[in-house]
Structure 1
């Protein structure tokens, strides 16, 4: 491995520690999300054309921590029927799921936890089917929040890293859309909220894959907005500022795993 690339990798290891810097809380992001959803869905109680009155249903991905978890609690406490999706319910996120269920029980909230891994077609399909049994096939709001970050110079990003981030940050939202949109078209109503980032408009060094993912997600969302307007379905994007969530801690883990794999398996690195 040449000295330049060696120094670059060591520099990235140092950068991974810097990602622990404290950033703003989730209040600003929550404000952006609720400012969009509440005017569109102004009341928890809602009389549908069929004459039924029921709560509006909100499905949120990536609810094990951070913005997803906080958003789920805000909407549940505001009277919405809230379905919080989390991956790995039986393993690393079992505690997070248990905490949400305990809060729901203690506060008598209409809050439910379902398992969805947005990188899996089957998991998304099964998770949406489970959600449909809870909300009576009515998806009023879907918030695509789950996402990951892998900070590395574009030069050093292996194809597997590009695939991993794109599969989560872009295709994950696409998978959710494919499963919920048939319900929304039947309803002739619905709102999809895509949690993107300022990195979906402005490029930052070391975040080439993350910015590319977010640019792609915003482009996809713009196309969907045109395509779904005739069916009464709207698609909006929310661009939270840097927020103190597990995104950065997870980014450090992804970075360390990627660098370890690169140093052991790629000639010249």
Structure 2
């Protein structure tokens, strides 16, 4: 299934846009399966689920636990797992870490940057989604990357290197739309944008941003399709009111 699913993604380049959603648990995985081309178990779980300040705080144990939960809920989806910070600093660690993720339900892995590591993983037969532009695990500030010509040329060069080294796709994060468009034209593998304009081959969105569930930070490029946070607040208030008034449970909700 893994090979066929990735081949399908490769065939979509230039023909059909690719949708990618992050997911972190069983129930949401069941809800979105079949409605996204790729599910990304992202280290953004550190921010939106675990309450960490940075994605760099996410451990391998965190990733494996949530990855297994997502796989149980989305048995037929193409699942990519982020490689947590510090787990791929050298080839030996990267291969060991990637194999753990694959064994626990991932079809492919996503390190940030590191073209050489992508090459080594590819040699081991491990499918890799690359990631260029803003690299959240190591970024000192979260802003547009690639505005300067030298930076833009470096990102384009690295994108070509990622393609050569065997990545099946590349996430382009927080780079100028014109640069993302140029990269998309000049490489044969799909580009997945997040804050990189509409000309990428696909787009990725954090699930909690899509649902309007994470109140702490919403980047300009994120779109909310509902306001689930307020719906949850209302439901919790309604439940509490019904309990206090003796309206819950009612006769139909009482056993015996």
Class of the TM-score when normalised by the shorter of the 2 chains: 0.3 to 0.5
The structure, 1 or 2, with the larger RCO (C-alpha pairs under 8 Å, 6+ apart) is: 1
- Name the TM-score, length of structure 2 as normaliser: 0.34
Report which of the two has the higher share of helix. Answer: 1
